[in-house]
Amino acid sequence: MWGRSVLLLSVVLSACSSPPEQPILKMEGFAQGTTYHISYWSALPIDGKTVEAEIEKTLDGIDKTLSNYRPDSTIEAFNANPSTQSQEVGAEIVSLVRAGQNMYQLSQGCFDLTIKPLFELWGFQGEELTIPDQAAIEQALTRVGMTKLEVIDDAHLSKKQADVRVDVSAVAQGYSVGKISGLLEQLGIQNYLVEIGGELKTHGHKPDGQAWRIAVEKPLPGERSMQKIITMPKDAPMSVMTSGTYRHYFDVNGRRYSHILDARNGKPVTHDLVAVTVLHENPTIADAWSTALLCLGLQDGMQLANNEKIKALFIRQQGSEFLETRSEALTTAGQLAIQ
Specify if 105 maps to a domain: yes
Range picked from 30-44, 167-181, 232-246, 255-269 for highest mean pLDDT: 167-181
- Say what the pTM is: 0.90
Query: In the 8-state DSSP scheme, what is residue 146?
Result: G
Query: In the 8-state DSSP scheme, what is residue 245?
Result: S
Spatial strand order in the sheet of 25-31: 25-31, 34-41, 191-196, 199-203, 238-244, 273-280, 311-318, 321-326
Specify if 35 maps to a domain: no
Confirm if 227 and 315 have CB atoms less than 8 A apart: yes
Specify if 96 maps to a domain: yes
Domain count, the chain: 1
Specify if 130 maps to a domain: yes
- The proportion of the chain whose per-residue pLDDT surpasses 70, expressed as a percent, equals 86
Specify if 88 maps to a domain: yes
Q: Show the domain range for 93.
A: 68-167
Specify if 246 maps to a domain: no
Of 58, 56, 61, 57, the closest CA to residue 75 belongs to 61
Specify if 47 maps to a domain: no
- What is the spatial distance between Cα 284 and Cα 201, in angstroms, rounded to a whole number? 10
Specify if 136 maps to a domain: yes
Checking if the pLDDT of 247 tops 70, the result is no
What amino acid occupies position 75? I
What amino acid occupies position 302? M
Three-state SS for 13-46 is CCCCCCCCCCCCEEEEEEECCEEEEEEEECCCCC
- CATH number of residue 99's parent domain: 1.10.3980.10
Q: Hey, what's the torsion of the CAs at 126, 127, 133, 138, to 10 degrees?
A: 30
- What is the spatial distance between Cα 290 and Cα 269, in angstroms, rounded to a whole number? 14
Q: Tell me, what's the pLDDT at 1?
A: 38
Q: Tell me, what's the pLDDT at 328?
A: 96
Return all residues near 122 (Cβ < 8 A) that are at least 6 apart: 129, 130, 131, 132, 257, 261, 268
- What is the spatial distance between Cα 287 and Cα 170, in angstroms, rounded to a whole number? 7
Chain segment 251-294, per-residue pLDDT in tens = 666 677 788 899 999 999 988 898 999 999 999 999 999 999 99
Checking if the pLDDT of 135 tops 90, the result is yes
Confirm if 158 and 86 have CB atoms less than 8 A apart: yes
Q: Tell me, what's the pLDDT at 194?
A: 97
In this structure, of 3-17, 119-133, 266-280, the range with the lowest mean pLDDT score is: 3-17
Confirm if 297 and 194 have CB atoms less than 8 A apart: no
Chain segment 61-77, per-residue pLDDT in tens = 999 999 988 999 999 99
